[in-house]
């Protein structure tokens, strides 16, 4: 299964996915291309260092979000992509992308959705006095952080946490959780029930 990873910045989760693929931990999934809307994204160099094909599609070249997503879809279909992973892709995606890849666009978010959606989730958790937060991998829909949940992992919030310390612990969890979710989705044996992804077969 060819996978595209969409990025805008440093490529931290991209690096974790590439490393997992190198270890054989993504199951049938293979990272076929990394696409960035920014030519200066550090994640492009992360991909290139591992021999992964890269592509830059600047969002400023398109008059609307839908036009940009249509260009993305065209580029991904040319590469026979079946699964799309957002990894620090700093753009809301439209129905154009979601409809082209139904139940096949994943995102990772630094909270236990539906708590603390959108930007600054770690700060939101601290400001609300949450005792636990975490990371969530979910399918993407045009509504922000509202798609069916594939998997989650809890991260405790300590009394001495800052945004930086909490973010660092959540990121370590993301690096484990995202490859696990990609493998789960790629291997099949699941269905969507409401806002939850339910396993229909038990992996060996």
Catalytic residues: 109
Helix (H, G, I), strand (E, B) or coil at 99: helix
Strands (DSSP E) contained in the chain are 2-7, 30-36, 53-56, 81-86, 105-109, 132-139, 149-156, 190-193, 196-199
The answer to whether the CB of 118 falls within 8 A of the CB of 154 is: no
* Per-residue tokens: 103: 């139940």
138 closest CA partner among 173, 177, 176: 177
Q: In sequence order, which residues have a C-beta less than 8 Å from that of residue 61 and are 6 or more positions away?
A: 68
Q: In sequence order, which residues have a C-beta less than 8 Å from that of residue 23 and are 6 or more positions away?
A: none
């Amino acid at each position: 299964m060819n996978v595209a990873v969409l990025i805008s910045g440093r490529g931290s989760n991209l690096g974790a996915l590439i490393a997992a693929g190198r270890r054989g931990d993504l199951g049938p999934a293979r990272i076929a291309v990394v696409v960035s809307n920014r030519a200066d994204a550090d994640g492009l160099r992360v991909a290139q260092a591992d021999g992964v094909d890269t592509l830059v599609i600047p969002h400023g070249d398109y008059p609307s979000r839908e036009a940009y997503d249509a260009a993305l879809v065209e580029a991904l279909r040319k590469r026979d992509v079946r699964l799309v992973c957002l990894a620090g892709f700093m753009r809301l995606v439209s129905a154009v992308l979601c409809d082209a890849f139904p139940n096949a666009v994943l995102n990772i978010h630094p909270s236990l959705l539906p708590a603390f959606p959108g930007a600054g989730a770690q700060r939101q958790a601290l400001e609300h006095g949450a005792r636990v937060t975490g990371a969530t991998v979910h399918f993407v829909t045009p509504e922000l952080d509202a798609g069916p949940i594939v998997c989650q992992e809890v991260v405790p919030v300590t009394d001495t946490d800052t945004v930086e310390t909490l973010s660092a612990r959540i990121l370590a969890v993301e690096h484990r959780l995202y490859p696990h979710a990609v493998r789960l989705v790629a291997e099949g044996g699941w269905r969507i029930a409401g806002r939850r992804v339910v396993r229909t077969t038990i992996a060996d």
